[in-house]
Structure 1
Amino acid sequence: MNKFIAVVLAGAVSLGASLAFAAETSTVAAVYKDKSALAGKEVTVKGKVVKVNNGIMGRNFVHVQDGTGDASSNNLIITSKQTAAVGDTVQVTGKVFLNRDFGSGYNYPLLIEESTITPAK
């Protein structure tokens, strides 16, 4: 085992930390369902990009759906410095924010911010 990895693992174990190596992927519907408990926490969602609005308030707004949820819980809006194209399948990791009001009609009951967007397989 690499000496650096052994030290990191030993440190995590001695602190009682869990050894989660990758964030668990959630569904769009599950994020909506558990949004209160997830507020301020990081989530990862995989889905298809259905709408993109770039360059608004210094960020890109990317809408992602994965086929779960109903009309009120099937579309996650992601903000990121990165972007994607409509039709892309992506994996998004970001923090859950509730009731974000940017003014001028930009009000979001649920928003995933500070996100990274990567192509998904």
Structure 2
Amino acid sequence: MNKSIIATAFAALVAFAPISQLQAADLPVKTVEQVFAQQTALSGQRIQISGEVVKVNNGIMGKNFLHIQDGTGSEGSNDIIVTSQQTAHLGDKVNIDALVTTNRDF
């Protein structure tokens, strides 16, 4: 199943805020590894990222937490955690449109 998710996501100290789907077509596409490597430079920018849902935790602090991997990166830089009001299932392919922010504390 392929889903499009507009979400808040974070990777280590990287966070993403929701944006409009109408803006998604013009956004730069990044890999999980690129987000980790470029997190400071990407802060404040809107991006697209796609991957597979490898873990789901629903209903935590009123949000659903999705772990997304795309096959790039290595341990410590290969998993983005997305928070969203929407959810997905293990194994779903998702497209995420987001604003990158750093040092976000939930």
TM-score (norm 2): 0.71
Secondary structure of the residue that 2:40 maps to in structure 1?
helix
Q: Which residue number in structure 2 is paired with residue 31 of structure 1?
A: 35
8 Å CA contact 2:45, 2:100 repeated in 1: yes
Deviation (angstroms), 1:41: 2.1
Mapping of 1:1-121 within 5 angstroms?
Answer: 21-102=25-106
Q: Flag structure 2 segments of 5+ consecutive residues without an equivalent.
A: 1-23
Percent identity between matched residues is 51
Note the alpha carbon deviations across 1:43-92, whole angstroms, 9 max, x for none.
21110000111111121111100000010100001111111111001101
Stretches of structure 1 that go unaligned for 5 or more consecutive residues are 1-19, 103-121
**Is contact 2:58-2:65 (8 Å) kept?**
yes
Cα-Cα RMSD: 1.6
**Quick one: distance in 2 between partners of 1:71 and 1:21?**
30
* C-alpha separation in 2, matches of 1:49 and 1:31: 17
**CA 1:36–1:54 in 2, change beyond 3 Å: closer, same or farther?**
same
CA apart distance, 1:21 = 4.5
User: What letter corresponds to residue 35 of structure 1 in structure 2?
Assistant: Q
1:99 CA displacement: 2.2
Distance 1:46 1:60, change over 3 A: same
Query: What is the SS of the residue equivalent to 1:101?
Result: coil
Q: TM-score, normalised by structure 1?
A: 0.63
Name the larger-Rg structure.
Answer: 1
Rounded to whole Å, the distance in 2 between the matches of 1:67 and 1:26 is 12
Structure number with greater CO (CA < 8 Å, separation at least 6) is 2
* Pairs aligned (count): 83
